[in-house]
Amino acid sequence: MRLFFPRSWSASPRPVRQPAWAAWRAAGGPAGARRRRRRRQSRCVWRALAAFAPAPAQAEKLAVTIHDSQGRPLENAVVSVMVRGTRERAGADATAEMAQRERSFVPQVLVVQTGTPVSFPNLDTVRHHVYSFSAIKPFEIKLYVGTPAQPVVFDRPGTAVLGCNIHDKMVGFIHVVDTPYFARTGANGSATLDVPPGEHRVRAWHPVLQATGTPVQDTVKLPAGASAALTIRLPGG
């Protein structure tokens, strides 16, 4: 036989309402209240600072063309733009790759920001033995296939010439710059960069300058809301 109870009997008891002071104690008591007040105050300070912070920098187009001494366009030239107030070293998440494929370095010229770890994946079935004697980063990765576990961090600006102990014809370059604004020219010798407006130093480097050759420098005025173009001629080639 089934028994029916009045609803009020079978329903679960109503939760006891917590007095306000208990909730306050649970939230940390007087110390919690002070913490919350401090948090509110610091939020106010941050909001006030944010109101005065400069708006995110706008970027304009800067087209740079690199010629050799004969006026011919140079492919694989590195263009870097020094913008005052920008971080010289790469952020913690920066990475780059200098692969080896068909017994060549790919790309032949790699440009990275100072502090970037570069890995050297070997995409061939033969073993390579990559090294550099260059002052900015002497290193050696002995006979290997696949990708070496440890990347090489390029922590000084300049150029590292790469070679392979097994294949003498393999030559590659890693050009390291103290700026996040850089690009490599295409077959037409040009590169277009997005750069904040202002007056900036522009540097150009290409293997024709030799590894120890310092980049050729020029300046450019990039007005806000407009674009600019610049041609730099390198001695050599």
Positions touching Cu ion (CB under 5 A) are: 128, 164, 166-167
Of 145, 144, 134, nearest in space to 213 by CA: 134
Please state the closest distance from residue 152 (CB atom) to Cu ion, in A: 16
Whichever of 128 and 200 has its CB closer to Cu ion, that residue is: 128
105 or 181: CB nearest Cu ion = 105
In the bound state with Cu ion, the residue whose beta carbon lies nearer, of 172 and 189, is 172
Least separation in angstroms between CB 68 and Cu ion: 29
Closest distance of CB 132 from Cu ion, Å: 14
Q: How far is the CB of 170 from Cu ion (least distance, A)?
A: 5
Shortest separation between residue 146's beta carbon and Cu ion, angstroms:
14
Q: Which long-range contacts (CB under 8 A, 24 or more apart) does 87-93 make?
A: 87/180, 88/113, 88/114, 88/178, 88/179, 89/113, 89/114, 89/115, 89/178, 90/114, 90/115, 90/116, 90/180
* Residue nearest to Cu ion according to CB distances in the complex: 164
Please say whether the dihedral angle defined by the alpha carbons of residues 147, 148, 151 and 157, taken in this order, is positive or negative.
negative
What is the nearest approach in angstroms of Cu ion to the Cβ of residue 176?
A: 22
Query: Rounded distance, CA 192 to CA 145, Å?
Result: 36
Q: What count of other Cβ atoms lies within 10 Å of the Cβ of residue 119? A: 16
Residue 123 and residue 163 in contact, taking contact as beta carbons nearer than 8 Å: no
Q: Are 185 and 79 a contacting pair, CB within 8 Å?
A: yes
Of the pair 128, 206, the CB lying nearest Cu ion is at: 128
Distance CA 186, CA 72 (A): 13
Which residue, 46 or 133, is less far from Cu ion as judged by CB?
133
Nearer to Cu ion, 89 or 167 (CB): 167
In which element (H, E) is residue 35 found? helix 29-52
CA dist 153 and 95 (Å) reads 9
